[in-house]
């Protein structure tokens, strides 16, 4: 089988001849130049099935054609990295022969069209990316962006997405431990649903996707193939318009029960050495898994589609290859191990079918309905997909807003209460109480703190995780915004006592053919790279989602970062909750100049979104974070919270509410602009609570280590007070904080 099997694919009753017209090419999202490349590579016209395969593989979603040149600039290595980008998920070493395997992925377009199923299958897809590598999934997280609250679709979308994420994760029994959610009008027509999964595997039992072994059986397992989700990858690579709802049939339907069986069956088979390679059928289904596995292994693959388990009658080759039916995997087995593997999958009531074998032709050959319906050289499909250096323009810098340019307030605590009840700062309890965040019995820090932490089962170490990005910063200054997203993830892990290990990302942007959008992408990736290098926080996996536009309006640049860290000894974990103890001293670590540009204060209290975002000083970030982590490890810190959205007063209020412990704050000395002091969003800062006995010593050490430190107050009673007269009860504040989201969702 070294030569092409056929010169031209054969027509069969199920796969009649398709005339390839320019319209058909355009419908498949391929440009004229891309089609010309296909003709040159094949030296003939493709069949309809072949055109579909090129269309899916060369879609932005699968090929990264606009983003690849930039992604190559990111740091992806480090002693902790076992596997960087390019596999189903990234792998980092967590000691004791164990690895954390994780990735984040978008499911934006499907979730906008059909929020429950779109979000649910987003969770299902990312879970498969992780367990396909041999890991038992141990935690899910997410990053969600919705339109403005009073947009008519927002409530429906929030309700559906949250229920969908819960519906899938709760049933499969993997705790959803963290996430983030923002509202902004830029997402009115294009919400973002990014899902992340972390799994744990033995380092000597990690499974990869490169196919190997000529003659080895190609095996299909999981659910049957139906007509759902055909061309999902292509849909995910196009803009939306008013007719987008007509695309509902391209959204897949999730079955978490089957996926639970698939996890157990795969892990059971993985405990033997029967599997050579394995990959889930995600975007572009059987097409991408077959092409990518064979391409990576440098082999050919010959599949008989008659053997693919189908859910519906008379499916043709095009439909089988492009279906995105969920809960399916493709495996290459060692020869002769089929029966053993089949027994496991049958025990779990899952389909198991040998559908082909590996060849030495480096071609993808598909047989169906009595004919050969596809015979393509693999190189041009996979490894030589188009790659564009799209023109881009830098985002114009905005002037820095000075504190006196932003209207102040006399009522700091009233302002605090208003801000704590604003959509972007209020409690997310309504969301995470719909997620089973405790199943598996290892959730050590639950949602609501800086990072959530799960214990590595059977050990005393923990994996900390957080998802972060501040899109309004990225929009105002992509480079600083990119840096800030990485720094905040690093800071959140640090505040939990973890040593940050590595990140995954999900880069959500608009239409990359617009130089302005491409400039946002380039800027954010540049900033992410700078921060990741400075903080030794490499990128080990990720996903790019472009064309997040509706009727020409793009989303805010939203490069969501999923950070993962390790807590070596869980006794040394930390949360933001103030202990119920009077006279603990609150210290602010880090410098502040009262930066109000792009702050929540500016937006919520003055209705403006302007100015440069706060700058990120990466050297200071590292110094401050390491200092704080040492305070945690040394058992000195009693509560820690990083300062982010809303600034210092919001940070302290969150600590007080989490611990149900009051705080007395000092009025800032010689301060002309207290609103900037309390609500400025300067970066690289933490609030640390510690005993009065430790405070003096810590201040001295901090100053020696060039870590700025300020005393701001102490714990006491059950109120939040500033100076002698300004007081708010925690009950009042908590009502404001907790009530916005449930009230909004109740309509």
Partner 1 sequence: MKASVIVFPGSNCDRDVAVSLEQAMGQKPNMVWHADSELPPSDLIVIPGGFSYGDYLRCGAIAGNAHIIRPVKEAAEKGAMVLGICNGFQVLTETGLLPGALMRNADLKFICKDAPLSVETSDTPFTKGYKQGQTISVPVAHHDGNYRADEDTLDRLEGEGRVAFRYADNPNGSARDIAGILSENKRVLGMMPHPERCADPLLGGTDGKALFTAIVEELS
Which residues form the interface with partner 1 (CB under 8 A)? Answer: 163, 166-167, 170-173, 255-258, 260-261, 348-349, 432-444, 446, 455, 570
| E strand map for 411-548 | 443-445, 452-455, 462-468, 499-508, 539-545
Q: Which is nearer to partner 1, 122 or 448 (CB)?
A: 448
Catalytic residue among 28, 61, 624, 641: 61
Q: Which is nearer to partner 1, 94 or 261 (CB)?
A: 261
Give least dist CB 226 to partner 1, A.
17
What count of other Cβ atoms lies within 10 Å of the Cβ of residue 549? 20
Q: Which is nearer to partner 1, 446 or 603 (CB)?
A: 446
Q: Quick check: is 307 catalytic? A: no
Gyration radius of the chain over CA positions: 26
Quick check: 713 and 586 in contact, CB under 8 A?
Answer: yes
Give least dist CB 505 to partner 1, A.
28
Structure tokens at 274: 């029967």
Give least dist CB 444 to partner 1, A.
5
Quick check: 251 and 326 in contact, CB under 8 A?
Answer: no
| Nearest to 145, CA basis, from 375, 424, 355, 420 | 424
CA distance 251 to 231: 9
Q: Which is nearer to partner 1, 146 or 679 (CB)?
A: 146
CA distance 578 to 719: 13
| Residues contacting 704, CB < 8 A, separation 6+ | none
> SS3 sequence, 534-553?
HCCCCEEEEEEECCCEECCE
Could you please report the per-residue DSSP string of 151-215? STTHHHHHHHHHHHHHHHHHHHT--EEEEEEEE-GGGTT--EEEEEEEEEEETTS--------TT
Structure tokens at 510: 């608009």
Catalytic residue among 107, 109, 184, 231: 107
Q: Which is nearer to partner 1, 347 or 404 (CB)?
A: 347
Give least dist CB 194 to partner 1, A.
21
Give least dist CB 578 to partner 1, A.
16
Give least dist CB 349 to partner 1, A.
7
Give least dist CB 534 to partner 1, A.
33
CA distance 386 to 62: 11
Q: Which is nearer to partner 1, 209 or 427 (CB)?
A: 427
Q: Which is nearer to partner 1, 138 or 539 (CB)?
A: 138
Give least dist CB 458 to partner 1, A.
9
Secondary structure class of 264 (helix, strand, coil): helix
Q: Which is nearer to partner 1, 31 or 460 (CB)?
A: 460
308: left (phi over 0), alpha (psi -120 to 50) or beta: beta
CA distance 402 to 673: 10
Half-sphere exposure in the Cβ direction for 31 (13 Å, CA): 14
Q: Cα dist. 328→23, 88, 263, 405 in Å?
A: 32, 14, 11, 57
- The structure tokens 């008989």 sit at 304
- Name the β-bridge partners of 11: none
| Nearest to 308, CA basis, from 14, 640, 33 | 14
Q: Quick check: is 61 catalytic? A: yes
| Residues contacting 40, CB < 8 A, separation 6+ | none
- The structure tokens 């540009």 sit at 597
Q: Which is nearer to partner 1, 264 or 362 (CB)?
A: 264
CA distance 356 to 211: 13
Give least dist CB 440 to partner 1, A.
7
State the virtual CA torsion across 722, 725, 726, 731 in degrees, nearest 10: 100
Q: Which is nearer to partner 1, 255 or 642 (CB)?
A: 255
| Nearest to 166, CA basis, from 136, 183, 187, 144 | 144
Give least dist CB 17 to partner 1, A.
42
Give catalytic residues, as residue numbers: 61, 107
């Amino acid at each position: 089988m070294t030569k092409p099997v056929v010169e031209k694919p054969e027509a069969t009753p199920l796969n009649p001849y398709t005339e390839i017209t320019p319209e058909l090419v355009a419908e498949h999202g391929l440009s004229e130049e891309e089609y010309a490349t296909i003709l040159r590579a094949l030296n003939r016209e493709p069949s309809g099935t072949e055109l579909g395969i090129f269309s899916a593989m060369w879609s932005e979603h699968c090929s990264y054609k606009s983003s690849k040149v930039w992604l190559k600039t990111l740091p992806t290595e480090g002693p902790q990295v076992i596997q960087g980008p390019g596999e189903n998920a990234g792998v980092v070493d967590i000691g004791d022969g164990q690895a954390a395997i994780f990735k984040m992925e978008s499911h934006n377009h499907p979730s906008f069209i059909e929020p429950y199923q779109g979000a649910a299958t987003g969770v299902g897809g990312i879970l498969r990316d992780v367990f396909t590598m041999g890991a038992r999934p141990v935690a899910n997280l997410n990053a969600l962006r919705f339109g403005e609250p009073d947009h008519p679709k927002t409530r429906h979308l929030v309700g559906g997405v949250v229920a969908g994420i819960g519906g899938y994760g709760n049933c499969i029994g993997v705790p959803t431990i963290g996430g983030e959610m923002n509202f902004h009008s830029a997402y009115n027509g294009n919400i973002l649903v990014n899902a992340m999964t972390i799994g744990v595997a033995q380092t000597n039992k990690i499974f990869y996707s490169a196919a190997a072994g000529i003659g080895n059986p190609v095996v299909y397992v999981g659910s049957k193939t139906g007509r759902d989700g055909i061309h999902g990858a292509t849909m995910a690579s196009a803009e939306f318009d008013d007719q987008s709802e007509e695309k509902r049939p391209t959204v897949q339907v999730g079955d978490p029960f089957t996926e639970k069986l698939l996890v157990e069956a795969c892990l059971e088979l993985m405990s033997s050495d029967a599997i050579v390679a394995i990959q889930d059928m995600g975007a572009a289904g059987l097409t991408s898994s077959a092409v990518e596995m064979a391409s990576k292994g440098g082999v050919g693959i010959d599949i008989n589609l008659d053997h693919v388990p189908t859910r519906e009658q008379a499916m043709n080759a095009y439909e089988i290859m492009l279906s995105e039916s969920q809960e399916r995997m493709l495996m290459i087995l060692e020869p002769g191990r089929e029966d053993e593997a089949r027994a496991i999958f049958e025990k779990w009531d899952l389909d198991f079918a040998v559908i082909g074998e590996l060849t030495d032709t480096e071609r993808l050959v598909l047989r169906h309905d009595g004919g050969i319906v596809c015979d393509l050289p693999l190189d041009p499909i996979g490894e030589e997909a188009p790659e564009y250096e799209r023109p881009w323009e830098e985002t114009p810098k905005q002037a820095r807003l000075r504190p006196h340019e932003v209207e102040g307030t006399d009522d700091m605590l009233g302002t605090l209460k208003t801000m704590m009840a604003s959509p972007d700062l209020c409690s997310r309890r309504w969301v995470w109480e719909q997620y089973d965040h405790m199943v598996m019995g290892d959730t050590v820090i639950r949602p609501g703190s800086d990072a959530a932490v799960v214990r590595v089962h059977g050990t005393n170490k923990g994996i900390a995780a957080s998802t972060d990005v501040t899109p309004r910063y990225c929009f105002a200054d992509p480079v600083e915004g990119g840096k800030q997203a990485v720094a905040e993830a690093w800071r959140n892990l640090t505040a939990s006592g973890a040593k940050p290990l590595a990140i995954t990302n999900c880069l959500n942007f608009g239409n990359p053919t617009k130089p302005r959008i491409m400039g946002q992408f380039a800027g954010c990736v540049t900033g992410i790279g700078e921060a990741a290098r400075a903080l030794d926080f490499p990128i080990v996996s990720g996903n790019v989602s472009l064309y997040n536009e509706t009727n020409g309006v793009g989303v805010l640049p939203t490069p969501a970062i999923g950070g993962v860290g390790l807590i070596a000894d869980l006794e040394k974990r930390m949360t933001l909750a103030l202990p119920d103890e009077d006279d603990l001293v609150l210290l602010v670590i880090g410098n502040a100049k009262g930066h109000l540009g792009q702050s929540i204060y500016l937006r919520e209290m003055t209705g403006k979104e302007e100015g440069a975002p706060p700058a990120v000083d990466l050297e200071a970030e590292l110094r401050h974070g390491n200092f704080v982590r040492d305070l945690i490890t040394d058992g000195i810190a009693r509560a820690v919270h990083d300062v982010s959205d809303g600034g210092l007063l919001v940070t302290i209020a969150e600590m007080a509410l989490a611990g149900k412990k009051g705080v007395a704050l000092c009025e800032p000395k010689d301060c002309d602009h207290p609103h900037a002091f309390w609500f400025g969003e300067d970066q690289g800062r933490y609030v640390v609570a510690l005993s009065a006995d430790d405070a003096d010593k810590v201040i001295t050490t901090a100053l020696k280590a060039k870590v700025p430190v300020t005393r701001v107050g102490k714990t006491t009673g059950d109120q939040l007070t500033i100076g002698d007269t300004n007081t708010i009860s925690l009950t009042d504040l908590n009502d404001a904080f907790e009530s916005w989201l449930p009230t909004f969702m109740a309509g």
